[in-house]
Structure 1
Amino acid sequence: MAKNELRLRAPQVEDEQFNDFGQMIREVAQRTPDSTAVIDEHGSLSWRDFAALVACIAGRLAERGIGPGARVMSLSENSAAHLALYAGVLSSGACMVPLPWSASPEALVKMRADCGAELLFASKTHRAVADTLGAEVIALEDLDAFAEGPEGAPVSVSPDDFFDIIYSSGTTGTPKGIVHEHRFRSRQFGRFGDLGLDGDAVQIMSTPLYSNTTLVAVLSGLAGGGCIVSMAKFNTIGFLDLSQRHRATHAMLVPVQYMRLMAEPTFDDYDLSSYACKFSTSAPLPGPLIAKIMDRWPGNLVEFYGMTEGGVSTVLNCAANPTKWDTAGSISEGSEVKIIGEDGQELPPGSYGEIAGRSGSMMPGYLNAPDKTAEAMWRDANGNDFIRTGDMGRLDEDGFLHLLDRKKDMIITGGFNVYAADLEAVLRAHPAVADVAVIAVPSADWGETPLALVVPQTPTEAEELRLWANERLGKLQRLSAVEFREDLPRSEIGKILKRELRAPYWNKETA
């Protein structure tokens, strides 16, 4: 983003210690050179070898004139090489741009043009698409050959320098590039270090490296000097085998992965006693699923609610708050959460409205998009900048956040607001329901009406399930119908794609 663009202002932190990621990598290698840094399907790297590879990558980039102010892209599944590249780009002082391989080629072209990067590292899997993006492409499998030569000299960075740019998947319109500075990431390293991501941690990486869900935990794990076990593609047996074999202590997973693991028939055959803590984010964990995880999987479970853009930040420590498993947790230290109405005014405690947040980790804005940055901003009466989430919710009397729906996913039936999350919570309590999404469909009488799309756990009748749920719902919440599905469409980090589910019903109406 250019210097004259609108910028969101994160709160100042007194006596703050700035953590330079490249320097942290070098210090870990000096402290524990022989411990393992990264493991993937092809082998492992000690911290001595990992740091040396990172430094050599930075050196080769510097020879090409790539350093502070420059940007480097990647298009790859998870691997030790991908992690080394990420760290090498940052150690050169340049900004990393991990492109989402889930995006369409057309969207990827727009991302490349938006960030302006001229160099792209791509794995063999994604090479054909990479060659269409208009950048110089280097095979990630040839990273060792690229890095041959002396180590690059350490490069100092400032808190305001760009760390990485994370793009939305770009399914509609122009993708938005979410900018993180080194300050943003530095503050995250400290918070996750408090959750045990230190030199003794062994963390499984099974979500894509281009997702902030992954980066917030994995980068913190590297900064803390732990070991990262990389999975190119998640599957339940592979995850459980790696966890047992490497005595994993931590993992960041999304709710759909937890659902699949809890449904895995052989789950209880694996020794997971090494786990200290599991993390979850990207979508709410249903209370019944939390109960299964806490009962069957050793170690604590901590759920985070936040955005790639930063701002809002809540944490649910499941072991410490067994009566709050239906919430997104309490507000993180140093953060603020406000509930605002349609008129943009702050609402009183206990009110339902749009959630806006402010914290030490806030993007300065979207790349090259001051209008989109302005749309994301809300300013309170004291002139403090908050980021609007687009999520609806309320804070209870104990300060815990209750999530409802995305603002755009709210069902308006007969002029009344109905939150799909409330209906989904009721349906999940039925033993025959494995997964569910409630959406708005057209109604001649009400404008919109709720429809439940259910993945069954055991055989049941749709009408029987609808009547069972409606007995437990308010008059205005009642389901018009239940339809069964074999599965529900999800993004690469497990969010149900309700837009895709709604489209056939509304397209039929307008055809």
Structure 2
Amino acid sequence: MSQGVDRVIPKPIEDEELLKFAPKIRENFVTYAEKTCVVDEVETLSWAEFGGLVMRVAGRLKSLGIGPGSMVASLSENTAMNLVLYAGVLYAGACMVPLPFSATEAALVKMRSDCGATLLFASPKFRDTADKLGASDIVDLTKLRDWIGDADPIEPVDVEFSDLFDMIYSSGTTGTPKGIIHDHLFRSRQFSRSSSYGMDETGVMMMSTPLYSNTTLVAVIAALVKGATVVSMERFNTVRFLELSEKHRATHAMLVPVQYMRLMDEPRFDEFDLSSYQCKMSTSAPLPGLVIEKVMKRWPGNVMEFYGMTEGGPATVLDCAAHPDKWDTVGQPQPGADMRVIDEDGNELPYGSYGEVVGRSGAMMPGYHNAPEKTKEATWVSPDGLHFVRTGDMGRFDDDGFLHLLDRKKDMIISGGFNIYAADLEAVLRKHPDVADVAVIAIPSRDWGETPLGLVVPARPEADSEEIRDWANAQLGKTQRVSKVEFRDDLPRSEIGKILKRELREPYWEGQTA
């Protein structure tokens, strides 16, 4: 510890049970054979049926020489077959790479090339896009059973904790998107904590965010390991979510803040019986205290808010029932997590100071795929030689050890639970001939929590703001689109030329409670 620096001391991980995914779900195929494993809008699979398919997917992959060290990609909405594929790839010892269908075609091409997956599974909805990604073999995911053919089922391929589990890509329009690597130790440490929110074999987990998102995987993988049931939604809809929750007697859900806001605004919310719920979880963005208050009053079961990164490292949890006076925070460090705050020069700050949050824990990525320099940029090394993940989030710990997030260092916009980087949008807007200068900021959105606003200094009087917006959005991913472009005579800058985004944001956030 640096001289004069107090910090949150991580609690030891007591009786930590590290389980490997494939052997555990192999056990579940038998133990919970007749119980429902996964259900979507098309079919319902028991654990025995799910297991039979997973074992034969793995057998087919093995016959193709795909195993440890191999990567298999997918491009699909949520379905039961997508979950079968995910488990089958892991069962074969290979690494799963779920591509984000919300990314631009150009970004997807870079992702497929970077991971090197020659085998790509795609749903019919995304087949046209898949055909352009350069994979040598594309399989229709709806015809997975036909692809399996007469492949023999196999037992799970033995893997080391250091072997790759999956790789999640950050979205972006500039450069090559970063592939965030997760090994089996990373995932094992995550699902070993699932008992903390009451997940066991009696659980029913609602899956309403995309399977390519770490938000989804944290909850769904843990549910499968515990022998629970997963209810898969192709896309989120408030009424359908409530209908399925009531029908299947859901006990758990992982949602992003905007989904909670939409559910609380749903006129029919109180018509549904949600008494089976034990715990709702939230991540991807801070959950506003006013929203927590509404959910705790109207929706049975507790709310657990998690703060962390796809890269791993920092990890906090807020038990909303236990700490009603801390709903303006993202909770305390989880057991085993070491959280600190640093200044702009990388110096560790005294406890309670405001700075960039960094963290380390048992679940940390080995690094970004094929990007050692990016990995180095995302790492802070403490004076005692420990490696921490830099969050880019500005915050402080209060006297009780709860983390208050105060700002985002890199001007990241969190819209609908997805991270949007202003620099990516600005790079596209700058290419328009009528744009002389530009800044993109986050403004409040009832539907998305936050949404990007482009502030443009036009290059000519005849410039059309709506035409510029439409032009840019045609080149951006679905989750990145600019909501509006407004013209400015100039943009405020500091003495060293940096645009003062805080000054730009203030008028839009005045009077906001979250």
Query: By the TM > 0.5 criterion, same fold?
Result: yes
Q: Is the 8 A contact 1:282 1:493 kept in 2?
A: no
Amino acid at match of 1:71: M
Structure 1 match to 2:499: none
Structure 2 match to 1:19: 19
Structure 2 match to 1:425: none
Shift, 1:506, TM fit: 7.3
Structure 2 match to 1:477: none
Structure 2 match to 1:105: 105
Matching of residue 164 in structure 1 with residue 166 in structure 2: yes
Amino acid at match of 1:363: M
Aligned ranges for residues 233-248 of structure 1 at < 5 Å? 233-248=235-250
Structure 2 match to 1:76: 76
Deviations along 1:95-138, one digit per CA (max 9) or x if unpaired, are: 00000000011000100111011000000000000011111100
Amino acid at match of 2:232: S
Deviations along 1:209-255, one digit per CA (max 9) or x if unpaired, are: 00000000000000100000000011000000000000000000000
Which of these residues, 136, 145, 154, is aligned with residue 156 of structure 2?
Answer: 154
Structure 2 match to 1:3: none
Deviations along 1:352-372, one digit per CA (max 9) or x if unpaired, are: 000000000000100000000
Q: Is the 8 A contact 1:254 1:493 kept in 2?
A: no
Structure 2 match to 1:6: none
Q: Hey, what's the Cα distance between the residues in 2 that align with 1:502 and 1:452?
A: 11
Structure 2 match to 1:486: none
Q: Hey, what's the Cα distance between the residues in 2 that align with 1:110 and 1:138?
A: 20
Matched residue count: 435
Instruction: Determine helix, strand or coil for the equivalent of 2:193.
Output: helix
Structure 2 match to 1:250: 252
Aligned ranges for residues 356-505 of structure 1 at < 5 Å? 356-409=358-411, 453-455=443-445, 500=482
Structure 2 match to 1:89: 89
Shift, 1:508, TM fit: 6.9
Gaps of 5+ in 1: 1-10, 411-419, 422-436, 442-447, 458-488
Shift, 1:454, TM fit: 4.8
Q: Hey, what's the Cα distance between the residues in 2 that align with 1:454 and 1:96?
A: 35
Shift, 1:449, TM fit: 12
Deviations along 1:320-342, one digit per CA (max 9) or x if unpaired, are: 00000000101101001100001
Matching of residue 143 in structure 1 with residue 144 in structure 2: yes
Q: Is the 8 A contact 1:316 1:328 kept in 2?
A: yes
Shift, 1:172, TM fit: 2.7
Q: Hey, what's the Cα distance between the residues in 1 that align with 2:402 and 2:113?
A: 42
**Structure 1 residues 452, 281: CA separation in 2 closer, same or farther (over 3 Å shift)?**
closer
Q: Is the 8 A contact 1:205 1:214 kept in 2?
A: yes
Q: Is the 8 A contact 1:12 1:360 kept in 2?
A: no
Structure 2 match to 1:193: 195
Q: Hey, what's the Cα distance between the residues in 2 that align with 1:26 and 1:76?
A: 25
Structure 1 match to 2:311: 309
**Structure 1 residues 227, 368: CA separation in 2 closer, same or farther (over 3 Å shift)?**
same
Gaps of 5+ in 2: 1-10, 415-419, 427-437, 448-472, 493-514
Which of these residues, 175, 182, 186, is aligned with residue 180 of structure 1?
Answer: 182
Instruction: Determine helix, strand or coil for the equivalent of 1:187.
Output: helix
Matching of residue 60 in structure 1 with residue 60 in structure 2: yes
**Structure 1 residues 382, 62: CA separation in 2 closer, same or farther (over 3 Å shift)?**
same
Q: Is the 8 A contact 1:13 1:360 kept in 2?
A: no
Q: Is the 8 A contact 2:90 2:96 kept in 1?
A: yes
Shift, 1:148, TM fit: 2.7
Deviations along 1:17-73, one digit per CA (max 9) or x if unpaired, are: 431111111111111110010000112000011011000000000000000100000
Shift, 1:198, TM fit: 1.1
Structure 2 match to 1:117: 117
Q: Hey, what's the Cα distance between the residues in 1 that align with 2:439 and 2:371?
A: 36
Q: Hey, what's the Cα distance between the residues in 2 that align with 1:35 and 1:456?
A: 39
Amino acid at match of 2:258: V
Q: Is the 8 A contact 1:168 1:177 kept in 2?
A: yes
**Structure 1 residues 449, 23: CA separation in 2 closer, same or farther (over 3 Å shift)?**
closer
Deviations along 1:454-508, one digit per CA (max 9) or x if unpaired, are: 5579xxxxxxxxxxxxxxxxxxxxxxxxxxxxxxx9xx9999x6x9469755797
TM-score by length of 2: 0.80
Structure 1 match to 2:214: 212
Which of these residues, 294, 297, 320, is aligned with residue 295 of structure 1?
Answer: 297
Aligned ranges for residues 224-373 of structure 1 at < 5 Å? 224-373=226-375
Shift, 1:15, TM fit: 7.5
Q: Hey, what's the Cα distance between the residues in 1 that align with 2:317 and 2:34?
A: 35
Q: Hey, what's the Cα distance between the residues in 1 that align with 2:477 and 2:286?
A: 12
Q: Hey, what's the Cα distance between the residues in 2 that align with 1:372 and 1:56?
A: 38
Structure 2 match to 1:462: none
Shift, 1:147, TM fit: 1.9
Q: Is the 8 A contact 1:193 1:220 kept in 2?
A: no
Shift, 1:258, TM fit: 0.4
Q: Hey, what's the Cα distance between the residues in 2 that align with 1:144 and 1:292?
A: 44
Q: Hey, what's the Cα distance between the residues in 1 that align with 2:232 and 2:444?
A: 33
Shift, 1:169, TM fit: 1.3
Instruction: Determine helix, strand or coil for the equivalent of 1:293.
Output: helix
**Structure 1 residues 507, 77: CA separation in 2 closer, same or farther (over 3 Å shift)?**
farther
Q: Hey, what's the Cα distance between the residues in 1 that align with 2:182 and 2:327?
A: 31
